[in-house]
Structures are given as structure tokens and as C-alpha cells.
């Protein structure tokens, strides 16, 4: 480990941390200041001679050339080291099987079938701190979980048990019918609920007309307050999709499938993002403008493809980003021993025309938004969780390596001399 980390201990503190804020006495242990020659914030900003102040696992101050009050523990990096946010893989099976049943099961949660694999730390050591773990299967197999690659204080890897509902779609009538059936089942439940409410209202009206006061009181007590019919879990999940409380991730097999989905959806309500798998020859270029005009979030692989039937190469992630889509990049492989190749593959996309700021955001802040964590994770901003990587060089520079990983304000990988 090449970077210098030093703790300047103090028995008591009577004043400030950074920017003159007061610090309670005897609280030095809850603070950590990190000094770095360069920090990639993750939102497009790059800070030189930066200082981050971390308290209880969160960033409370960040800026350039900030003063550090005496008594605050300091971690000072070497002059050629840089910091970036911890990487987030929004779409993974963590090396486990993709095989599962074909069905409509939006209520099933991948978290309930997750058992931490022994090699999960290899993801963390490569700089991947958070993962969107989706359920196996075709059709609508269920809800993805948000996992941390290092366990929390209670030993759990699960941060959230519901991030998005996976839809694996194909261009077929049966898949159209599957989408339409979601809203048909909701309408059936609403009709049943309306009849149940009507029955209750009639019974209450009849009780209100009872002339015998004691009997009237007894009838109204028996009726009680109206309780809506509770939908079964599958229908409840569908209703949450309709109300946009649950986000859908549509995995497509071709450009035509997206158009089939729009036709099946019609005027119905749903919030969705797209998973676009890129093969050697992909036709997804045909819908880039349409997807970009919608401002959709798109999960893609960092690979160069060809125009179908030609040898003309194209950078589809760059095309989608330029068209206005919110780009989310994922590793080319879920294999444990390939985790440290992710930044190298993204660097290749940059050399082929992808904007470097967009690329960094596509492996940090955009996947955080995809998983519903954008307000707390994915960038190094005030109020967010202190998840960061200490690198030997700029993130996409050849030979850049992860030298340490911090999660929740604590070093979980890499040697730190105190």
C-alpha cells in the first residue's frame, strides 16, 4: 500500500472540523478527514487538492484546499493517487445461474433467495460496492434486491429488498398479453373492491335506518369501519407498478421488442428503464433517438458492436448517451475473476468516443438512481454515504488499480498504516 495515512489524535476538541463548524468535546473518533490530490465527485465535478470530512460514515464537507482543525484524524494520500465513488453494478446475478421459471411473478423478491457467496469480497476488492441482484427466470420473474459487497454491522449484505421489477420481454403475442394482463388483473381487483364497498355501504345504510337504538348500535358496531379488500401479493405488486411505486426494468432482445412493449402498454401507467444487451451485431441503434427523446435510463454493456450485416463498428452506449438517454454501464461478465476488468472495458468505450464524465457517472451515480439510491449513494457529495475508491491513477488510465476501498466511512480493503 503506497499511500500515507496518519491519525492526529486529541483527547478533547473545543472547536471546528472544517469550515469552522463546532465539534463536541471528546468526539475526534467520529470524524475522519481525507486529503487527496484529486477527487472525481461522480456528478461531473473534479476537485484538486481536495478534503473530505466524514462523520459516522457520511460525507459532511467536501471542497478544495479546506482547513482542517487540530485534533481531526487525517488520511493523506500520495501525490499521484485519486479518489472516485465506489462502483455500482445495477444488474447482476453475482455469478449464479440465470435459469428460472417462465411466469408472471412481480411479487417474488430475489433477496429472499440470496445467500452470500464466499467470493463476494472479490467484487468489493475490485471496487464494486453495491449490486442490483435480479431474480432468475423469464417473463416477469420478480424484484431485484440491492446488495452490499461487504456486510453491515449485523452481518447482512441486503441494503434494500426491492429495487426494480424485472421484465424479460420478447417480440411475441404472448408477451404482449403478459403486459396487458397486468392491468386486466388490476381492473378485476378494482371491480371486486367496488362491489364489496357497495355491499358494505348498503348494509350500513340499512343499519342507520334501524329505529331501535340498541339494535342500531349493535349493527353498526358489527359492521365497523370499512376495510378495503386486500389484493393478493401478485396483484398488489402490479398495482405498485401501475402507481409507479415500483420501477420496471425491461430487458429486450431487439429493437422491435421495445415497440411491441409500447403497443402493449398503450395509455397505461408505468415507470420503466431498459436493459439493452449488446451482441456483435445489434439493431438497437434504430431506437436510440426514440429512447433518448424519452430520457429513459438504459443499462448496457461496454462493448463495441457492428451494424447488422456489415463490418461497420459502432459505439451504441455513446450513441444512446448523445441521444439523451441516461446511461448505466455494467460489467461484460458476472464472473468473479472478471470484476476488475470493468473499468478497463469502460476505458475502451471512452477511447471509442464515449464522454469520460458520462462514463464515470454510468458506473456510479446513474446506477445508484436506477436502484433508488441516488439521494444517498453514487457520488461524493455532502450528506451521502462515504463509499469511495482510492486508485493509483485516474479511473480510466491504463494501469490504474484499486488500492483501497472505503464503505460507510471505513476502509474494508487495502492496507492503511495508522
CA dist 275 and 329 (Å) reads: 10
CATH number for the region 5-85+409-413 comes to: 2.30.40
Q: What is the pLDDT of residue 175?
A: 85
pLDDT at 346: 98
pLDDT tens for residues 53-68? 999 999 999 999 999 9
Question: Which residue ranges make up each domain of the chain?
Answer: 5-85+409-413, 87-177+233-377
pLDDT tops 80 at residue 285 = yes
pLDDT tens for 299-337 read 999 999 887 777 788 999 999 999 999 999 999 999 888
Average pLDDT score, the chain: 90
Is 6 a residue whose pLDDT tops 50? no
Instruction: Enumerate the β-bridge partners of residue 300.
Output: 276, 329
pLDDT at 163 over 90: yes
The most confident of the ranges 90-99, 194-203, 276-285 is: 194-203
Contact 89, 50 (CB under 8 A): no
Q: Is pLDDT above 50 for 10?
A: no
Q: Give residue 8's pLDDT.
A: 36
DSSP state of 232: P
Span of 114-118, 168-172, 227-231, 292-296 with lowest mean pLDDT: 168-172
Supply the pLDDT for residue 403.
96
Q: What pLDDT is stored for residue 312 in this prediction?
A: 80
Of 204-213, 353-362, 382-391, the one with minimum mean pLDDT is 204-213
Q: Indicate yes or no: pTM above 0.95.
A: no
CATH-assigned architecture of domain 87-177+233-377: Alpha-Beta Barrel (3.20)
- The predicted structure's pLDDT at residue 416: 56
Fold agreement between 5-85+409-413 and 87-177+233-377 = no
Rounded Cα gap, residues 231 and 120, in angstroms = 37
Read off the pLDDT band of 414 (50, 70, 90). very high
Integer CA distances (angstroms), 321 to 52, 191, 279, 297, 364, in order: 30, 43, 18, 10, 15
Beta strands in 220-261 (DSSP E): 248-251
pLDDT of residue 21: 43
* Nearest-angstrom CA–CA distance, 196 and 189: 10
Predicted pLDDT at 17? 46
pLDDT of 279 reads: 80
Cβ atoms 165, 249 nearer than 8 A: yes
Coil, strand or helix at 326: strand
Distance, CA of 136 to CA of 116 (rounded, Å): 16
Amino acid at each position: 500500500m503506497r499511500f500515507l495515512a496518519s491519525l492526529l489524535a486529541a483527547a478533547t476538541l473545543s472547536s471546528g472540523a472544517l469550515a469552522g463548524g463546532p465539534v463536541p468535546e471528546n468526539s475526534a473518533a467520529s470524524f475522519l478527514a481525507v486529503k487527496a490530490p484529486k477527487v472525481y465527485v461522480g456528478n461531473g465535478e473534479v476537485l484538486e487538492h481536495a478534503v473530505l470530512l466524514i462523520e459516522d460514515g457520511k460525507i459532511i464537507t467536501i471542497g478544495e484546499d479546506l482547513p482542517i482543525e487540530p485534533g481531526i484524524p487525517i488520511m493523506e494520500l500520495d501525490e499521484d493517487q485519486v479518489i472516485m465513488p465506489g462502483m455500482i453494478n445495477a444488474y447482476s446475478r453475482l455469478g449464479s445461474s440465470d435459469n428460472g421459471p417462465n411466469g408472471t411473478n412481480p411479487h417474488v423478491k430475489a433477496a429472499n433467495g440470496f445467500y452470500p457467496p464466499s467470493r463476494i469480497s472479490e467484487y468489493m476488492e475490485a471496487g464494486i460496492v453495491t449490486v442490483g441482484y435480479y431474480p432468475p427466470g423469464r417473463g416477469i420473474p420478480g424484484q431485484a434486491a440491492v446488495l452490499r459487497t461487504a456486510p453491515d454491522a449485523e452481518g447482512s449484505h441486503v441494503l434494500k429488498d426491492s429495487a426494480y421489477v424485472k421484465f424479460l420481454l420478447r417480440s411475441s403475442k404472448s408477451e404482449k398479453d403478459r403486459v396487458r394482463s397486468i392491468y386486466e388483473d388490476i381492473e378485476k381487483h378494482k371491480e371486486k373492491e367496488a362491489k364489496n364497498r357497495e355491499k358494505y355501504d348498503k348494509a350500513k345504510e340499512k343499519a342507520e335506518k334501524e329505529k331501535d337504538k340498541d339494535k342500531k348500535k349493535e349493527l353498526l358496531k358489527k359492521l365497523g369501519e370499512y376495510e378495503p379488500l386486500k389484493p393478493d401479493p401478485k396483484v398488489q405488486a402490479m398495482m405498485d407498478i401501475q402507481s409507479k411505486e415500483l420501477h420496471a426494468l425491461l430487458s429486450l432482445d431487439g429493437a422491435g421488442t421495445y415497440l411491441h412493449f409500447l403497443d402493449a402498454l398503450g395509455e397505461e401507467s408505468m415507470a420503466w428503464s431498459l436493459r439493452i444487451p449488446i451482441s456483435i451485431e445489434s439493431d438497437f441503434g434504430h431506437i436510440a433517438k426514440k429512447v433518448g427523446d424519452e430520457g429513459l435510463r438504459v443499462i448496457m454493456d461496454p462493448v463495441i458492436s457492428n451494424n447488422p450485416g456489415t463490418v461497420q463498428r459502432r459505439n451504441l452506449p455513446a450513441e444512446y448517451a448523445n441521444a439523451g438517454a441516461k446511461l448505466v454501464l455494467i460489467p461484460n461478465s458476472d464472473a468473479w475473476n472478471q470484476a476488475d476488468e470493468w473499468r478497463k472495458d469502460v476505458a475502451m468505450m471512452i477511447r471509442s468516443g464515449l464522454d469520460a464524465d458520462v462514463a464515470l457517472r454510468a458506473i456510479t451515480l446513474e446506477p445508484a438512481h436506477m436502484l433508488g439510491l441516488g439521494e444517498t449513494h453514487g457520488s461524493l457529495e455532502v450528506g451521502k454515504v462515504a463509499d469511495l475508491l482510492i486508485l493509483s491513477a485516474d479511473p480510466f488510465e491504463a494501469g490504474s488499480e484499486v488500492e483501497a476501498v472505503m464503505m460507510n466511512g471505513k476502509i474494508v480493503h487495502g492496507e492503511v498504516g495508522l
